[in-house]
Structure 1
Amino acid sequence: MTDSTKTCASSRRIMAVWFPALPIDRWCLNNRRLEKGPPDDEPFVLAGETAHGPRITAVSRPARQAGARVGVLLADARAVAPGLIVYPADPAADRALLETLALWAQQWGPWSALDAPDGLIIDVTGVPHLFGGETAMMADAGTRFAARGLSVRLGIAPTAGAAWAIAHHGADHGTLPPDADPLVALAGLPVAALRLDQPVVLLLERLGLKRIGDLAQVGRAALARRFRDRRSPVANPLIRLDQMAGRVPEPILPVQAVPVPMVQRRLMEPIRHRTLLDRVVDDLATALARLLEAGGQGARRIELGLWKVDGDVLVRRIELAAATRDPVHIARLFADRLEDCDAGFGFELVRLSAPWAQPLALTQDDLETAAATHGTSLAACLDRLTVRLGSDAVAMPVPRASHMPERAQRWVAPDPALIVQEELALHPRPLKLLDRAEPIAVIYEAPDGLPRVFRWRGHVHEITRAAGPERIAPEWWREKGGARLRDYYRIEDSKGRRYWIFRRGLPDDGRGGMPEWFLQGMCG
C-alpha cells in the first residue's frame, strides 16, 4: 500500500447507524398513527411463523423485563411470562422503513447503504465541519431520529467495520480518530463486534478468544490455516480484521433514490370551475402516460396534488389493480374522486405523480380490437369499483396453507394476475361458506353410516342423496387439546337443495363426548 493510499484511507470517515429496536419502533409508530397503539407498559412481542411454531423476532422493553427474549419459541416464552401480548412480525415493512431511512439519512453524507436488518452505513467524509464537528453531527442525527420515534446508536470511524463495532458494542456517539489503529483502539470489544456469524463467535469464545485484542495477537498464519476453507467474510475472522483495519476493501452498495414519474402545471390564473380542472387533469394524464411509456413503466399508485391560492393542498390518491399508462382510464378514475373538491379561491398548481410504478412492456394491438375493448378489461373494472366503493369494499380470496375450510383462504386486494379460471372438479367445495359453521341435529346410520335427516334453524330436512365422507385431520400444531377429526358429506334434501355438512369426532375416538354435526356451506 503506497503512502497516498494510506492517506486517502485514513481521511475517510464512515458513520454507522444502528436501530436496536427497529421492528418495535416501526410497529408502535404505525399503530399510534392509527390511534390504536399499545400502552407504554404493555409487555408485547412480535412473532413470526417457523417450522416449529411461532418464534419471537422482537421484544418490547416491558416484555424483556418480564423475561421474553428474541429467538425463543413463543410457547417457551409464555411459560416464563404468561401475560405476553403477541402481534405478527412484518419483516417486509421493516425493510421498507429501513430503505426510506437510508434515503433520508443522506442529509449527513453523499451516499448511504443498508446494513440489514436494522442499520445504515453513511459516508460522511468531508461533511462534519458543516455541522460543527463529528460530535455535533451525531448529536443532530440522534435528535432527528429520536423525533421520528426511533431509538438509535451511532459511531464514526475510518472504516465501516470499525464504525459498526463502535455503534453496536462501543460507547454511544463514539468516534475513532483518523490516525488511530482500529485493532488497537477497539481491542477491548468482544469478537462479536467483527460482524461474524454466531457459530463462529461461539467457536472463538470456546477457544478463549473473547476480545478483538485476543484475536489480533494470534498469528495470521494460524488464523489462515484454521479458517482456510471459509471465504465468506462473516465466517472468516481474518477477513473481518483486515476490513476493520482498512487493509482490504469492503464492498458497500449505496442506496439510490428512484425518480418518481411526475408532471405538473403551474396555472397562469387560478381555476375554480370543475370543467377547467378536468381539462387540466386530462392534460396531465396524457403527459404522465408519455413519461411512463418512455421509461417502459406503468403506474400502480397515482397521486393528484392540488395547490390552492390560500396555501392549502388537496391530495387525491388511487391504487390500480394492474400497471397502466392509459390516460383516459387515469382521468376517468380521478373524475370520480374530485366530486367533493372545494376549490376555495382557486387552484394555482396541479401535480400528477406515480410513486409506485412497475415495468410494463410496450404492446401493439389491432386498432379495431383496441377500440372495441377499450376500458372494459378486468383491471379497469376493478379500479372503477375500488374508486366508487372504497378500497376496503373490493377484495378477492387467495389460498392459504390450511386443511380447514374456514382457514383455507384469506382476503387481499384484487390483483388480475392472481385471478385464474379453475375447474370446480379440482376443488370440490361449495361456492358459499357460512361465516361460522352452525350446529345441526342429525339422524344417521349407526355407527358410521351416511346421514339421513338433519334439523337446521328450526326446519327438518330429509336427505335423499349423500356423498362422502371426506376426512380432514385436525391441525394439531394450531389447535390445543380437544382437536377431533372431521368427516365431510355433500348432501341433497327432498327439495333439491344441496348442503355441505361435517361430523366432528368419532364415537370411540377417546376425546370425550359424542360426535357433533355442523353445517358449513351450501352448494350451488
Structure 2
Amino acid sequence: MARWERAQATRPPTPPAPWEAEDAPDGPDPDAPLVLAQDGPHGPVIHAANAAAQANGAARGMRVVDLRAICPELQVVPADLAGDAKALHRLILWSRRWCPWSAGDGADGLVLDTTGSDHLWGGEAAMLANIAARLSGLGQVARVAAAPTHGAAWALARHGDREEICGARALRVRMAMLPVSALRLDGATLTTLHRLGLKRVGDLMLVPRATLERRFGRDGRALMTPLRRLDQMLGDAPEPVVSPAPPLRFRIVRRLVEPVMDPQPLLDEPLGMLCDALAEAGQGLRGLRLELYRTDGIAVRFEIGCAQANRDPAHLRRLLARHFESLDAGFGFDTLSLEGLRPERLAAAQVRLDGGIDSDVALATLVDRLTARLGPGAVELPDPGESHLPERAEGWRPALDGLGGGLDGRRADALAPGGLGGGGLVAPGRERPVRLLRAPERIEVLYAVPEGPPVRFRWRRKPYLIRRHQGPERIAPEWWRAKPGTRLRDYYKVEVEEGARYWLYREGIAGDGRGGEPDWFLHGLFA
C-alpha cells in the first residue's frame, strides 16, 4: 500500500473574491508572505500558507484579518477549492500508471493500492522515487510513503519522513512513535486524548480496549473512534481502497480496406455510431477529435469545440468540413479515428411543434460555426463580474467556455438591448454606455461650481460644449480591496452640442483629504 499526498498549490483567483487584496499586474510575489483564503463564519480564514507566511505565524483556520494585523505586507489569494477538487480527480486517474487502484484521500492526498505492482517499478523505493519525480515534473511537491495499511501510509506521509517505507514487521513499533494526530481523528477527540495524557499512538496501545470502548464508543456505532482508527492503522480492521470508475470514453476507429484520398464521405457512418453511443449513455460532447493515419505513417489530427454539449452528427460534420480544405493526403489514408472530448450530461429534448429550435441551441450552433471558421479566440461573450466599478464589472471570455450551461441571468442581461453594454453588473434603472473604454482617459473640464456638473470639456484636443447632463451617480471605492487614498467617483451622462452622448466622471471631491483638485475622466460612449 503506497500513499502519497499532494502539497497545496497556489492558484490564480478566478473570479476574485470580494475580500481579495489588490495584486500586482504580474501576480503575487512567491517570496512574500502569501496565503490562500476561504470564507469562514466570521470572515475569510486561511486555507493554506507559504513558508514566508508561516514564518509570520500563519496557520490553517486562522482569520486573515488577525494575520494581516501582524503582517501588513501579507498577500491574500482566494482558494479555488472547486478547481483543486477537479485537479485532484485528474491526478487520481493519472496516477493509475503505477497501479490499477487509486482513489482520493481527503482534499489534498491520494491513496494507491500497489499490491502486486511495486515489483514492476523495481521495488517500493524505486516506485516512490518515480512518483515524487513525476509529481515534481508537474510542479507539485509531495510527501510519499509506503506501508502495509492505508492508515499507516496516511500517518507516515504526514508525520514521517518525506519518503519513507515501513514493512509489516516494523509496523507496530513505527506507529507507536507517531503522535495521536496521525490517527485521522477530529479535533475534539484529539483534545480529549491530550487531556488524558495520551499523546502518542504507543500510549493508546497500552490502554485496555474495554476502557477505550467505554470512553469513546464501540466500533459499530462510531467509525472514527480512536480504537477503530488504531485497528485500521495496524491492519486489524479492513479499509479497502474504493477506486472511482474511469470516465466513459467515446471513440470509434475505422480501418479501411484500401487507402482513400478523401475521407469525408466515410465520416457519416462513424459519426452516427459515435452519436448513438453518446445518446445511449445520456451524454453529449464539448469537443471532437478526428485523427487520420496515412499509409506512410504520418498522422493528421483535427479538433473542434462546441459551445454546448452536442451529439448531432450533421452539426459535427459541418464543423469538420473546413479542415479538409488544405488536407495533404499523401499516398492516402487507411485508418481514421473519431473521439468525443469533454463529455457532459445531455438529456433528450422535446422538439418544438413548429419544427424550430430553441434560442439557446441556435446561439450555440452559431457560436460553433463562427469559432470553427474564425478561430477559438475570435468569438467572445460578455462575462460580468461582481464589482461596482465599471472596469472591473465588465469582461469577456471565449464563447466556447461561456455557454456550457446556457446563458445565465447576468450574461443574458449583458446581451439584452439597453443592458450592460460593457458586460458589467449594474443596479436596476442604471444605464451604461454601449462602448466602455479599455482605460478611462483624462479630460479637461470647465464647471461653474467645484462640485457641480461640467459645462465644457476637451477630449483628444477637441472641445465639446455640453447641452444636457444627467447625474451625478456616485460610486464609492470598494473598501475591501481598494488601496488607501482611493477617491470616490461622480459619474455624469452628458449630451454635447453635436448630439453625441458621453459618460464622464469626477474622481474625488474638493477637500476630501485624499489628494489635490479632483480629476476628470471620460469612461464611455453612448449610442
Is 1:492 the equivalent of 2:495?
yes
Which amino acid in 2 is paired with 1:106?
Answer: R
Match of 2:149 among 151, 159, 168: 159
Aligned counterpart, 1:186:
175
Alpha carbons 1:43, 1:85 under 8 Å: kept = no
Is 1:321 the equivalent of 2:307?
yes
* Secondary structure at 1:399 match in 2: coil
Tell me the CA shift for residue 43 of structure 1.
3.4
Tell me the CA shift for residue 154 of structure 1.
2.8
Tell me the CA shift for residue 457 of structure 1.
1.6
Alpha-carbon distance in structure 2 between the residues aligned to 1:406 and 1:519? 12
Alpha-carbon distance in structure 1 between the residues aligned to 2:33 and 2:259? 52
Which amino acid in 2 is paired with 1:353?
Answer: E
Which 10-residue stretch deviates more, 293-302 or 423-432?
Answer: 423-432
Aligned counterpart, 1:299:
285
Alpha carbons 1:461, 1:494 under 8 Å: kept = yes
Tell me the CA shift for residue 303 of structure 1.
1.1
Aligned counterpart, 1:16:
3
- Mapping of residues 453-472 of structure 1, within 5 Å: 453-472=456-475
Aligned counterpart, 1:33:
none
- Mapping of residues 78-117 of structure 1, within 5 Å: 90-117=80-107
Aligned counterpart, 2:512:
509
Aligned counterpart, 2:332:
346
Is 1:43 the equivalent of 2:31?
yes
Aligned counterpart, 1:7:
none
- Mapping of residues 204-283 of structure 1, within 5 Å: 208-218=197-207, 237-250=226-239, 252-272=241-261, 276-283=262-269
Alpha-carbon distance in structure 1 between the residues aligned to 2:161 and 2:145? 8
Alpha carbons 1:55, 1:74 under 8 Å: kept = no
Tell me the CA shift for residue 81 of structure 1.
11
Alpha-carbon distance in structure 2 between the residues aligned to 1:349 and 1:120? 38
Aligned counterpart, 1:420:
412
Alpha-carbon distance in structure 1 between the residues aligned to 2:66 and 2:328? 55
Tell me the CA shift for residue 364 of structure 1.
4.0
Match of 2:351 among 358, 361, 365: 365
Tell me the CA shift for residue 404 of structure 1.
0.5
Which amino acid in 1 is paired with 2:391?
Answer: E
Alpha-carbon distance in structure 2 between the residues aligned to 1:271 and 1:76? 68
Tell me the CA shift for residue 89 of structure 1.
6.0
Which 10-residue stretch deviates more, 311-320 or 66-75?
Answer: 66-75
Tell me the CA shift for residue 300 of structure 1.
0.7
Quickly say closer, same or farther: Cα 1:225–1:136, change in 2 above 3 A: same
Which amino acid in 2 is paired with 1:99?
Answer: H
Match of 2:296 among 310, 315, 319: 310
Tell me the CA shift for residue 74 of structure 1.
10
Quickly say closer, same or farther: Cα 1:502–1:204, change in 2 above 3 A: farther
Which amino acid in 2 is paired with 1:469?
Answer: P
Alpha carbons 1:155, 1:167 under 8 Å: kept = yes
Which 10-residue stretch deviates more, 322-331 or 165-174?
Answer: 165-174
Alpha-carbon distance in structure 1 between the residues aligned to 2:162 and 2:44? 36
Match of 1:379 among 364, 369, 381: 364
Alpha-carbon distance in structure 2 between the residues aligned to 1:314 and 1:232? 58
* Secondary structure at 1:23 match in 2: coil
Quickly say closer, same or farther: Cα 1:78–1:44, change in 2 above 3 A: farther
Alpha carbons 2:38, 2:47 under 8 Å: kept = no
Which amino acid in 2 is paired with 1:284?
Answer: P
Show CA shifts across 1:256-314 (max 9, x none): 21121111211122223xxx221123333222222211212111111111222232222
Quickly say closer, same or farther: Cα 1:312–1:55, change in 2 above 3 A: farther
Which amino acid in 1 is paired with 2:470?
Answer: A
Gaps of 5+ in 2: 13-25, 420-427
Gaps of 5+ in 1: 1-13, 28-37
Tell me the CA shift for residue 121 of structure 1.
1.0
Tell me the CA shift for residue 46 of structure 1.
6.8
Q: What is the aligned-residue RMSD (CA, Å)?
A: 3.9
Aligned counterpart, 2:16:
none
Which amino acid in 2 is paired with 1:326?
Answer: D
Is 1:396 the equivalent of 2:381?
yes
Tell me the CA shift for residue 191 of structure 1.
2.7
Which amino acid in 2 is paired with 1:507?
Answer: A
Tell me the CA shift for residue 435 of structure 1.
0.6
Is 1:124 the equivalent of 2:114?
yes
Tell me the CA shift for residue 22 of structure 1.
5.7
Aligned counterpart, 1:169:
159
Which amino acid in 2 is paired with 1:383?
Answer: D
Show CA shifts across 1:97-136 (max 9, x none): 4323322333443421112433211223344455565445
Quickly say closer, same or farther: Cα 1:203–1:374, change in 2 above 3 A: closer
* Secondary structure at 1:377 match in 2: helix
Show CA shifts across 1:169-191 (max 9, x none): 22455344446654x43111123
